[in-house]
Amino acid sequence: MRLLLVEDDDALRKTLTHALRGAGYGVDAVGDGRSADGALLCGHYAMVVLDLGLPDTDGMQLLQQLRQRGDRTPVLVLTARDSLDQRVLGLRQGADDYLTKPFALPELEARVAALIRRAGVGPARLSHGALEFDPLTRQAHIGGRALELSAREASLLDALMQRPGEAVIKSRLAHTLGDWGSELGHNAIEVYVHRLRRKLEPFGIRIRTLHGLGYLLEKPDAH
Ligand code: CA
């Protein structure tokens, strides 16, 4: 699932890109209105995170143009202008939600997930026996109890749960778990598989190693 992030502050754009990628989204990040417009015209995004104060245009204007051409992509506006007037104006012009700077990253992630879910474009929750995983919020539960997972453990579980009982090849995991543009080493993948196993095995959920190939999540009734 791909998001467009429009933010002109370099440091903030990097931080937000990193956080959203860590939460499992593909992110295209741009720093001005012109690039944002170009990206929106050619790309298809699950949602847009839009800063209002941009160097070449006002984010609100960008939003207005987007809605005028009938594009209903959900938009989360980031703004330092926390006055009520701006919020009302923004919502009238088609923003779906607001976040006032400064904000905490988990708050941003929660709002993004909620907007995608509300728009009905998010992936379905996955379940595997007593284990449940929400690919959007990256939260896992077993028998209703929350399971603590790191970002990479969550990505690994996501990949395995997308295809239970089927092989997930190691090179695909290297790509999925790696940072943008770089792959994770195969030894590192083994470390994450080991950690995830330790969390799942007490509940009878097993990850089988297929030597030289990859891993598979055993079907709950496979033993
Ligand atoms: Ca700005």
Q: Does residue 210 carry a pLDDT above 70?
A: yes
Output 219 or 81, whichever has higher pLDDT.
219
| β-sheet with 2-6: strand ranges across | 26-30, 2-6, 47-51, 75-79, 97-100
Q: Confirm whether 2-119 and 126-217 share one CATH topology.
A: no
C-alpha 66 – ligand 1 centre gap (Å): 19
CATH for the stretch 2-119: 3.40.50.2300
What is the dihedral sign for C-alpha 15, 19, 24, 25? negative
Whole-angstrom distance, CA of residue 55 vs CA of residue 37: 14
**What confidence tens digit (pLDDT) does each residue in 58-68 have?**
898 999 999 99
Beta bridge partners of 76: 49, 97
126-217: CATH topology is Arc Repressor Mutant, subunit A (1.10.10)
- 162 Cα–ligand 1 center, Å: 38
Place of tokens 């791909």: 2
The residue extents of the domains of the chain are 2-119, 126-217
Distance of CA 116 from the midpoint of ligand 1 (Å) = 23
CA–centroid distance, 47 to ligand 1, in Å, is 19
| Strand positions, DSSP E, 82-167 | 97-100, 126-128, 131-134, 139-142, 145-147
pLDDT, tens digit, 9 for 90 and up, residues 109-155: 999 999 988 887 767 789 999 999 988 788 899 988 999 998 889 98
Structure tokens at 60: 């609100």
> Residue 39: what pLDDT?
92
- What is the model's pLDDT at position 135? 83
Tokens encoding 85: 């007037």
Residues 115 and 3: beta-carbon distance below 8 Å: no
Could you tell me the distance, in angstroms and rounded to a whole number, from the CA of residue 202 to the centre of ligand 1? 48
